Structure 1
Amino acid sequence: MNQRKRKKLSQHLFVAVLMGDTIRVKALLRAGADPNRADSEGTTPLYVASVNGEAEIARLLLAAGASPDTESSGLGSEGTPLCAAACWGHTETVRELLARGADPNLREDHGTGRSPINWAIDGPHPETVALLTTAGATPAGTT
């Protein structure tokens, strides 16, 4: 597949993820959309799915090879997928990310920012905190 077509598929993937269109996401991934390709601002599809609590779409992206720990840098979309999901208490999405290898202690801002559990504690999202704790997460500043 040529670079132009793959880029176009990836752009369509972003729209499908934003709309929560699981069927379209499946079709685009099968057609060759890159699950790791960030948009022009640096936001990844997995970050978008995670911040919106789209656990099934996150699972599809991860199964297609999306990296669970890639940090987004888009305006208003900075951070890791796990931090995004934990911030909003999207427990099912957190569960998917952890099951696919997301680091429960990876801090945002290239290791200098907040951790997923810090976001969940501040939520407050006790169910998400419990899930992260079981996965070995510790609040930033206590390691």
Structure 2
Amino acid sequence: MKQRQQKKLSRRLFGAIVVGDAGAVKSVLRAGADPGRVDSEGTTPLYAASVNGQAEIVRLLLSAGALPGTESSGIGAEGLPLCAAACWGHSDTVRELLAHGADPNVREDHGTGRSPLEWANHGPHPVTAALLAEAGALAITG
């Protein structure tokens, strides 16, 4: 697909995510939008949906090929989708990410930052923390 067309589809995808329109996200993905294409600042669509707790849109993006372990590098939108969802206690979104292979023990900042469980505990979001623990997230002591 031509670069210009892909750029246009990407803008439409991010616009649909911003307003939480799952139907529009589905339509844009069917039209050929790349679910892993970052915006001009480096934000991934999956991060944008995860940080806002849009579980249905997260499911659509993952089903279309978005990778749950890709870090976003956008201004104010840095990090991993699972950490973003855990930070805000979006348990349904955390469930979707885990169901699609997100690692509950991954750390942001290319392995040097917080884990999803640390973000959930920092919230504090005990329901989300329990969900992560059930999925195998390890509490680091020391």
Taking structure 1 as the reference length, the TM-score comes to: 0.96
State the AA in 2 paired with 1:102.
A
The secondary structure found in structure 2 opposite 1:28 is helix
Q: Distance in 2 between matches of 1:138 and 1:52?
A: 25
Residue of structure 2 equivalent to 1:59: 59
State the AA in 2 paired with 1:71.
E
Q: Distance in 2 between matches of 1:124 and 1:80?
A: 18
Per the TM alignment, residue 142 of structure 1 is displaced from its structure 2 partner at its CA by: 4.0
State the AA in 1 paired with 2:129.
V
Q: Distance in 1 between matches of 2:74 and 2:48?
A: 10
Residue of structure 2 equivalent to 1:80: 80
Q: Distance in 2 between matches of 1:116 and 1:73?
A: 17
Q: Distance in 1 between matches of 2:6 and 2:60?
A: 18
Taking structure 2 as the reference length, the TM-score comes to: 0.97
The number of equivalent residue pairs is 142
For residues 54-86 of structure 1, give each alpha carbon's deviation from its aligned partner in whole angstroms, at most 9, with x where no partner exists: 000000000000000100011110100000000
The secondary structure found in structure 1 opposite 2:96 is helix
Q: Distance in 1 between matches of 2:141 and 2:47?
A: 26
Matches within 5 A, 1:104-119: 104-119=104-119
Stretches of 4+ aligned residues off by more than 2 angstroms: none
Question: Does residue 45 in structure 1 map to residue 45 in structure 2?
Answer: yes
Q: Which runs of 5+ in 2 are unaligned?
A: none
Residue of structure 2 equivalent to 1:120: 120
Q: Distance in 2 between matches of 1:74 and 1:142?
A: 31
Q: Distance in 2 between matches of 1:7 and 1:118?
A: 36
Per the TM alignment, residue 9 of structure 1 is displaced from its structure 2 partner at its CA by: 0.2
The root-mean-square deviation of aligned C-alpha atoms, in Å, is 1.1
Residue of structure 2 equivalent to 1:89: 89
Per the TM alignment, residue 4 of structure 1 is displaced from its structure 2 partner at its CA by: 1.3
Q: Distance in 1 between matches of 2:109 and 2:18?
A: 23
Residue of structure 1 equivalent to 2:70: 70
Residue of structure 2 equivalent to 1:25: 25
For residues 33-52 of structure 1, give each alpha carbon's deviation from its aligned partner in whole angstroms, at most 9, with x where no partner exists: 00000111110000010000
